Structures are given as structure tokens and as C-alpha cells.
Amino acid sequence: MISNTIYSKGRDSFKDYTFSAREWSAPTMVSPKEIRERIDSFALCGRKIKRMRLISLSYFHTRDWVEEAAYRQVEHLPEEERQRKSNYPTIDPTMQFSRYAQIDEPFLIEFEDGDIFEVDTPQDPEFRMSMNCIPWWIKAGTNQPNAEADVLFSPCVGQEIVSVEVNTRITDKDPMFFCAFDEPPYQRELVSNVTLRLRNGLGLQISPDIDYCEVACVDVSNEWVKISFSELKDALFNWEDLHADEVTGFEAESHMALLIRT
């Protein structure tokens, strides 16, 4: 785990319009004080969210992970029925999922005034944040995106940020390797999450999770807000979502054979 801020040598000059963590100018920070100061410098309070974007893949929203989440929800059923009800095409449209994404490239928020806030957590407990440094339609540097943030986090669209929380915890273990710190201080204050509190009482919570970034829509108790599967499907564009016809059951074998629904 790093102890001090690492300042990037990047100049936000993204070759081939593709995101690169090395080219991003945002510093890598672990100090709660420095993280608070940097996020305060962006003056987020009072801004209204116009739209949001996940640059790259949401690992929680691949077909396998969606089916796994559904499978866990029907554990009371016999195995054959459990398998059927967690199969992607036959998941109950009313089944509830969390408004949550697990990503490994920045999360973008554009405000109604045109400014864009960019945030990522490369690994626990590191935070990187900037304003107007990453082009909105930049391409993924690793895995291609598969979820529409505006649908996944729809209760946040159009909402005003009323406060920004930098929540911390005290720990005596390195959060990446789960071993005790081998040099002082042996107990350290680390940032658990940054939460943007909204006018409607909900929040957008950004948290490090090992070497991923978690983004979640949370309620006043910091519980993940839910979304029905029927609404969630409108947010997804995995291979199956783009190449399968729900009526006929046909699945294209080539990315050249896109089906147009009428």
C-alpha cells in the first residue's frame, strides 16, 4: 500500500481516443485529508447530475454474474426449478437486483453546467479524481462496456448534490494483502468510500474493492437501492442482449448479425 500521494506524469493525451491510466493526470491518493481537500476543490455541492457513464465493463453485469445473482435468490426452490428461474431468458422480470457496478476504469458524471467529474479507485484504499480531464466518449482501455449507467442509476439523474461524504475506517491491516502493517503507524485511517448525497435522499457511493471500483446507488441507511430485472435489462448490452431475439429465442453467432426489433 502506498503511503503518500503519487502525482501522475500523464497529460490527458489519450492515444487513439482510448483511456490509459498512465496518461490520466489525476494523482493517486490515500490520505483522507488530501482526498477531502481534492474533492472539495471541485465544488460538487449544488450541481445537478445530467448523465453518467461507465467507460468499461461492469463485471457484476456479465450474463454469468446476473444468472449467479438470480440463482442465489431462489435457493428455496428444487435444483431443477432453481436452474430454470436463474437462466437469463427466464429470469422473473420482477426479480430485484442491486443498483451497483463493479468496474476497473473511471466512472464519469456530467453535470448540467457541462463539467465532468471523473473518479476511480485503482486498488484499496487509493482514490483518483479529476474534473474535465477525460473526454466523455473515450473508449475503454481494457474490457468494453456492457451497462448503461443512466438506467442503472436512474434515481440519481437530474438530482442535485447536497453534500459530499468522505467516510473512513481505522484498520491495522493492509486492505490489499490482509496482513498487519509492518511499519508505523500500525493503525491507520483509510477512506472507505466517497458518497455524493442527493436532494432526494439517495446517494452515489464510490468505494474501493480490492483492485476494483464499486459504484452504488444507496439509501439514507447506505443500503443498496434495488432495480427490477425488467428495468435492468434495458441497461445491459452484453453480447446476448445485442444478439438475441426474446420472441423467437434466436441467438446470432456473429457480431455482424445484429437483430433489429420492430
What is the structure's pLDDT at 223?
A: 97
> For all residues of the chain together, what is the average pLDDT?
91
Checking if the pLDDT of 23 tops 80, the result is yes
Q: How distant is the alpha carbon of residue 237 from its chain centre?
A: 16
> pTM here?
0.90
Residues 142-176 have pLDDT tens digits of: 999 999 999 999 999 999 999 999 999 999 999 99
Checking if the pLDDT of 259 tops 70, the result is no
- Given a contact cutoff of 8 angstroms between Cβ atoms, the answer to whether 130 and 24 are in contact is yes
Residues 89-141 have pLDDT tens digits of: 999 999 999 999 999 999 999 999 999 999 999 999 999 999 999 999 999 99
- Given a contact cutoff of 8 angstroms between Cβ atoms, the answer to whether 61 and 153 are in contact is no
Q: Per-residue confidence at 257, pLDDT binned at 50, 70, 90?
A: very low
Residues 56-84 have pLDDT tens digits of: 999 999 999 999 999 999 999 999 999 99
HSE (side-chain half, CA atoms, 13 Å) at 43: 3
Give the residues across from 118 on adjacent strands.
108, 130
Kindly tell me the burial class for residue 55, based on how many C-beta atoms sit within 10 Å of its own C-beta (0-12, 13-18, 19 or more): buried
- Given a contact cutoff of 8 angstroms between Cβ atoms, the answer to whether 161 and 198 are in contact is yes
Cα separation, 120 vs 24, in Å, equals: 11
Continuous H helices in the chain: 32-41, 63-73, 79-85, 149-152, 229-235, 239-243
Inter-residue long-range contacts of 240-249, CB under 8 Å, 24+ positions, other chains counted:
240/63, 240/88, 244/89, 246/89, 249/89
What is the structure's pLDDT at 29?
A: 98
- Given a contact cutoff of 8 angstroms between Cβ atoms, the answer to whether 23 and 11 are in contact is yes
Instruction: Assign 206 to helix, strand or coil.
Output: strand
Task: Please name which of 156, 158, 148 lies closest in space to residue 233, comparing C-alpha atoms.
Answer: 148
